């Protein structure tokens, strides 16, 4: 099992460009999450999903959109990238509340 | 408001010394707390959770509801313990989402 796989690993965008980050899990998990990691701020939740076809906003959702069309995939979109979105993005998944989250390796995004 | 605070950005100790990484939380209900660890060039992984009351890699953490704390302790630090440690709180509702602290980098010197 690959676990949680994130693509791409690195990306550099210019301000205003768009992109999609893909998260795929092969553990049949219901719940999936997107976090961003910034120095001194820990991990902050962007959006999450508690099942196929559902999405919900987290702590810092502005400037991002998500989709969960298939159970195994959770996509994070940036429609018009801004330098404030320079960060490391982590996807995670779990069977449900109260159990361990399984994390991907992260995507390092730089917006210039 | 639900919040997790890790007051130390960096904790530096010598090998063999005791370690205590501090975590305080703010939560009105009955909390579920976790410690996650990120070793260099590895993904974030669960270290332990309070409900299990277990010891992993020599680390323990006790939930103190009176002080709203969940400090991580190890009596004798090893060089391989050097990593970033995050304390996390499971928020209310059945969403499974975690609220993370700011993280503490543990540096164990030889």
Q: What is the pLDDT along chain B (110 residues), one digit of tens a residue?
A: 789 999 999 999 999 999 999 999 998 888 889 999 999 989 999 999 887 778 889 999 989 989 999 999 999 999 999 999 999 998 777 788 899 999 999 999 99
Q: A37 Cβ partners below 8 Å, 6+ apart?
A: A43, A44, A87, A88, A89, A90, A106
Please provide residue B30's backbone torsions phi and psi, each rounded to the nearest 5 degrees: -90, 110
Q: Is B97 in Cβ contact with A58 (below 8 Å)?
A: yes
Q: Which residue of A has its CA nearest to B33?
A: A98
**B8 part of contact set with chain A, CB < 8 Å:** no
pLDDT tens, position by position, A42-78? 999 999 999 999 999 999 999 999 999 999 999 999 9
- Determine the residue of chain B that is closest to A94 in CA distance: B96
Task: Give the SS3 label for residue A11.
Answer: strand
pLDDT value, residue A5: 97
Which of B 40-99 lie inside 8 A of A, CB atoms? 43-46, 49, 51, 86, 90, 93-99
DSSP letter at A84 equals G
CB contact under 8 A, A42 and B32: no
Give the DSSP per-residue string, chain B.
--EEE---SEEEEETTS-EEE--EEE-SS---EEEEEE-TTS--EEEEEGGGT--BTTBEE--BTTTTB--EEESS--GGG-EEEEEEEE-SSTT--EEE---EEEEEE-
Which pLDDT score, from 0 to 100, does residue B94 have? 75
**What pLDDT sits at residue A39?**
87
Mean pLDDT of all residues in A16-30? 96
pLDDT of residue A66: 98
Asked if residue A40 has pLDDT above 90, the reply is: no
Cα A63-A68-A73 angle, rounded to 5 deg: 105
């Amino acid at each position: 099992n690959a676990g949680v796989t994130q693509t791409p690993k690195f990306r550099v965008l210019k301000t205003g460009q768009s992109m999609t980050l893909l998260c795929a899990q092969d553990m049949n998990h219901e719940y999936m999450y997107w976090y961003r990691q910034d120095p001194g701020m820990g991990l902050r939740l962007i959006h999450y999903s508690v099942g196929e076809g559902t999405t919900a906003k987290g702590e810092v959702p502005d400037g991002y959109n998500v989709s969960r069309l298939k159970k195994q995939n959770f996509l994070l979109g940036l429609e018009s990238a801004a330098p404030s979105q320079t960060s490391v993005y982590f996807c995670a998944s779990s069977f449900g509340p109260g159990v361990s989250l399984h994390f991907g390796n992260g995507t390092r995004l730089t917006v210039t | 408001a639900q919040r997790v605070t890790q007051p130390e950005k960096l904790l530096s100790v010598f090998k063999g010394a005791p370690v205590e990484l501090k975590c305080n939380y703010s939560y009105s209900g009955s909390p579920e707390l976790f410690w996650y660890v990120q070793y260099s060039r590895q993904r974030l992984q669960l270290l332990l959770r309070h409900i299990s009351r277990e010891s992993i890699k020599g680390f323990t953490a006790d939930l103190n509801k009176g002080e709203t704390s969940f400090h991580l302790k190890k009596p004798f630090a090893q060089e391989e313990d050097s990593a970033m440690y995050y304390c996390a709180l499971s928020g209310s509702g059945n969403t499974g989402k975690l609220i993370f602290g700011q993280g503490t980098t543990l540096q164990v010197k030889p």
